[in-house]
Amino acid sequence: MPAPDRSKFHSELLRWYEENKREMPWRRTRDPYRIWISEILLQQTRVDTVRARYESFLERFPTVRHLAEARIAEVLLAWQGLGYYGRARNLHRAARLITQQYSGEIPQDPVTLQRLPGIGLYTARAIASIAFGKDVAVLDGNVMRVLCRVFRLQGDPRTTAARSRLQALADELLPKGKASTFNQAMMELGALVCRPARPLCSDCPLSPVCQAFRKKQVHAFPKKTPRKPSPTRLRVVAAVFHRSRILFVHRPPEGLLGGLWELPGLYVNGGDTQDGFEKLKEMLRKVATLEAVSTREPFSVDHVYTHFREHLQVISCRGRPVASSCAMRQAEPFFQWIHPTQLSHFALTGASRKILGQVLS
């Protein structure tokens, strides 16, 4: 980009940002902890959702030490409904490492930040630039879209080669000493104006230097290779009641939805739900004798994850415990009977909350 165009790029972008930026609670602070929490919350989550949960999370865990000293079950419960629970587990691990290795002080160096669980290149640079004023450029989906259109960059930005090229371009464009404002301005422009669909080019401060706009090809960028459709997994689930309590199982601490509670269920191969229910009943016999299984057809619930969909077939029934509470806690997996009034104390999977919404109504 010629020097005059680059100067115009910077001045017009930063002027637009000052006049149009949204009011966000995390923009009113330079506290590295609060900025770190906002960046993790904003990963794969809508801004409006984060805005509604940000302050309550910080009230529960106001400092790195509060977060580090909390039990993981408390963190998962505070995270409930935000999805991508690996973020919460990594946040908890990182808080403990910061407390143990850095005396509770969040590192300023982006390379050091990347060594912490859950902090990748983008998040490390966002924290370093916004909280500490480091001259490093960020590259998220919004920034990639702006750059692809302004420079008419070919190639799918999701590929490693394209991302590397885009990061180098973002680094080159970064005005020294203004990284915090510049990075936030680029992200805000992509979110509000240079949108994936229906971009507001007439309102864009960069339209005079945007090559895609000049050639009327804005909708052709970024180039993207079509994704394969998400696979669907079939799962059978049992809602088992005993004296108004419901049987739940605790998921292993690692992996998908690690540490959350859910209604007992099994994945089914080959689409044979009847065989699946028989195997599920067999699994449950070590903790409960199933009685009065509903004779009506199982009802269906669909739930979407990042890389696959779940189609759940659900039966409801009564069950009689055959194991003591102590034995159930020692079982693998770990089962527990929970009264509906106590569910607010447990972090449940989204699919189980959907099922309970139907069963309890």
Active-site amino acid positions = 39
* Cα 294-299-305 angle, rounded to 5 deg: 135
SS (H, E, C) 174-187: CCCCCHHHHHHHHH
Q: Which residue stretches of 133-288 are H helix? A: 141-150, 160-173, 179-192, 211-214, 273-284
> How many other CB atoms are there within 10 angstroms of residue 57's CB atom?
21
The pair of three-digit structure tokens given for residue 175, joined into one six-digit string: 């005005």
Q: How far apart (Å, rounded) are the C-alpha atoms in residues 239 and 74?
A: 25
Residue that is written with structure tokens 């009977």 in the block: 337
Output the six-digit token pair for 123.
Answer: 């998040």
DSSP 256-280: TTTT-EE--EEEESTT-HHHHHHHH
Is 273 buried (19+), middle (13-18) or exposed (0-12) by CB count in 10 A?
Answer: middle
Q: How far apart are CA 111 and CA 176, in angstroms?
A: 19
Count Cβ atoms below 10 Å from residue 344 Cβ, excluding itself: 9
Question: CA-CA distance, 247 to 263, in Å (whole number)?
Answer: 7
Place of tokens 């879209």: 145
For residue 67, what are the contacts with CB-CB under 8 A and spacing of at least 6? 61, 75, 91, 92, 95
In the chain, % helix, strand, coil (3-state, to 5) comes to 50, 15, 35
Asked if the peptide bond before residue 333 counts as cis, ω within 30 degrees of 0, the response is: yes
